[in-house]
Amino acid sequence: MITLTPEQVKERFGPLFCHRLLVMTDEKEGIAELHEQCHARGPIEWDHMNRRRAGGAFIAAKTEGTTMTMTAKIGSYPVHFGPSDIELGGQALEAVIINGSEVATYWIGVAGAGIGVAACLAQAPGVIRAEYDSEEELHIGGGHICRSTIILPKYEKITFGIDDTDTKESGATWVLAMKCGESCTIDGVIFLGMRITQLNPKAPEKTTNCTGSVIIFAVKPERKERLIQFVKTFVEEHSTSTNTGICYWNGIKLPESSYAKRIKIELLTKNDAAVEAKHLGIPFIDSTDGKGRIGALGALLLANGGVEVAGLYGESP
Q: Looking at the domain assignment, is residue 135 inside a domain? A: yes
Query: How far is residue 192's CA from residue 105's CA, in Å, rounded to a whole number?
Result: 21
pLDDT at 28: 95
**What is the per-residue pLDDT across 119-162, written as a single tens digit (0 to 9) for each?**
999 999 999 999 999 888 888 777 888 999 999 999 999 999 99
Shared domain check, 302 and 169: yes
Shared domain check, 292 and 246: yes
> How many structural domains comprise the chain?
2
Q: Looking at the domain assignment, is residue 80 inside a domain? A: yes
Shared domain check, 91 and 11: yes
Shared domain check, 160 and 149: no
Contact 191, 181 (CB under 8 A): yes
Percentage of residues of the chain with pLDDT beyond 90:
84
Shared domain check, 54 and 85: yes
Q: Looking at the domain assignment, is residue 317 inside a domain? A: no
Shared domain check, 162 and 141: no
Q: What confidence tier does 171 reach under pLDDT thresholds 50, 70, 90?
A: confident
pLDDT at 3: 97
Pairing mode, strands 102-110 and 91-99: antiparallel
Contact 283, 247 (CB under 8 A): yes
- Domain carrying residue 149: 2-153
Q: Cα separations (Å) of 131 from 24, 63, 104?
A: 20, 27, 10
pLDDT at 31: 98
Shared domain check, 167 and 139: no
Residue finishing a domain among 131, 153, 175: 153
Query: How far is residue 94's CA from residue 153's CA, in Å, rounded to a whole number?
Result: 18
pLDDT at 206: 67
Shared domain check, 43 and 90: yes
Shared domain check, 167 and 130: no
Residue type at 289? D
- CATH no. for residue 164? 3.30.70.2200
Reported pTM: 0.93
Percentage of residues of the chain with pLDDT beyond 70:
99
Q: Give the residue, 217 or 115, on which the prediction is more confident.
A: 217
pLDDT at 314: 87
Q: Looking at the domain assignment, is residue 61 inside a domain? A: yes
| Close Cβ partners of 11 (under 8 Å, ≥ 6 residues apart) | none
Shared domain check, 84 and 118: yes
| Close Cβ partners of 99 (under 8 Å, ≥ 6 residues apart) | none
Query: How far is residue 72's CA from residue 99's CA, in Å, rounded to a whole number?
Result: 16
Rounded (to 5) percent helix, strand, coil in the chain: 30, 35, 35
Residue finishing a domain among 153, 186, 203: 153
Please check the confidence at residue 208 and state whether its pLDDT lies above 80.
no
Please check the confidence at residue 18 and state whether its pLDDT lies above 90.
yes
**What is the per-residue pLDDT across 249-287, written as a single tens digit (0 to 9) for each?**
999 999 999 999 999 999 999 999 999 999 999 999 999
Q: Looking at the domain assignment, is residue 315 inside a domain? A: no
| Close Cβ partners of 177 (under 8 Å, ≥ 6 residues apart) | 162, 194, 213, 214, 215
pLDDT at 174: 93
pLDDT at 159: 98
Shared domain check, 133 and 43: yes
Contact 70, 34 (CB under 8 A): yes
Q: Which helix (H) or strand (E) holds 248?
A: strand 245-250
Residue finishing a domain among 98, 127, 153: 153
Shared domain check, 199 and 68: no
Mean pLDDT of 231-251: 96
Q: Looking at the domain assignment, is residue 316 inside a domain? A: no
pLDDT at 135: 87
294 in helix, strand or coil? helix
